[in-house]
Amino acid sequence: MTAALQPRVGFFTDTSICIGCKACEVACKEWNDVPEALRGFTGASYDNSGRLDADRWRHVAFVEQPNHGVDDGGGLRWLMSSDVCKHCTRAACLEVCPTGALFRTEFGTVVVQEDVCNGCGYCVPACPFGVIDRRERDGRVWKCTLCYDRLKVGAEPACSSACPTKSIQFGPVTLLRARARERLSTLQAGGLTEARLYGADDTDGVGGMGAFFLLLDDPEVYGLPPDPVVTTRDLPRMWKAAGTAAAALAGLVAAAVLGGR
């Protein structure tokens, strides 16, 4: 699929102002007609959606932890963050797809064409974030499209449009990164020295993310891998080694055949 390239767009999620309302989850389901997935509370938190999967393209994580800033030691703080597909610069899911069902759009996002997906599932283990998932009812894979249909008509994605605090911000990635760095500086100057950006660096293991985050603690606290790496990074070297081994084996077989004459 070819199209005129547009400025790369994505999401900047500022977790410091997420209130856990889950409006983004609801908006995503409504607009994209994502099936309902009824679940109870996890038992570990008030989060009733658990994780991203084929029927949950947005997931608001609730993390309860001791608030070390409270003198009596009895205080708690909630960390909340709306998670989503990262639309990686180096997208392993796209690289392993044998049918072309996954493609890079003119906006720099990664989308699944459900009418092309054959349900092979190669992309599922390829994702370093565990985002893409196969739906049991039809066997195909599903994930956030960054509301590709809305982007094509100049509209904002449903989730960011519904966010009441603007924790989820949508726009050109370069602009969002500049805004994120400014916000980070403000928070750190105000004493939140543990704040950091996640996914905003082009030199990371996936070449940067189209959906990145400002976190108030370690990535692992939010269920994110600390050092994500594109899972296909070693494939060229492996194929080269396999080709070299195959050529050497063919040479040995040829030598044995010729030597036996």
Q: What does the pLDDT look like over 120-177, one tens digit per residue?
A: 999 999 999 999 999 988 999 999 999 999 999 999 999 999 999 999 999 999 999 9
- Is residue 178 located within the same domain as residue 188? yes
- Is residue 164 located within the same domain as residue 236? no
> Is there a domain that residue 1 lies in?
no
Tell me the backbone φ, ψ of residue 143, rounded to 5 degrees: -170, 180
Q: What does the pLDDT look like over 86-116, one tens digit per residue?
A: 999 999 999 999 999 999 999 999 999 999 9
As a whole number of angstroms, the distance between CA 48 and CA 63 comes to: 12
Tell me the backbone φ, ψ of residue 188, rounded to 5 degrees: -65, -35
- Is residue 133 located within the same domain as residue 240? no
CATH code, 80: 3.30.70.20
- Is residue 179 located within the same domain as residue 55? yes
> Is there a domain that residue 4 lies in?
no
Specify the DSSP class assigned to residue 157. P
> Is there a domain that residue 44 lies in?
yes
- CA proximity to 90, closest of 254, 192, 197, 206: 206
Q: What's this model's pTM, rounded to 2 decimal places?
A: 0.83
Q: How many CA atoms lie within 13 A of 8 on its CB side?
A: 18
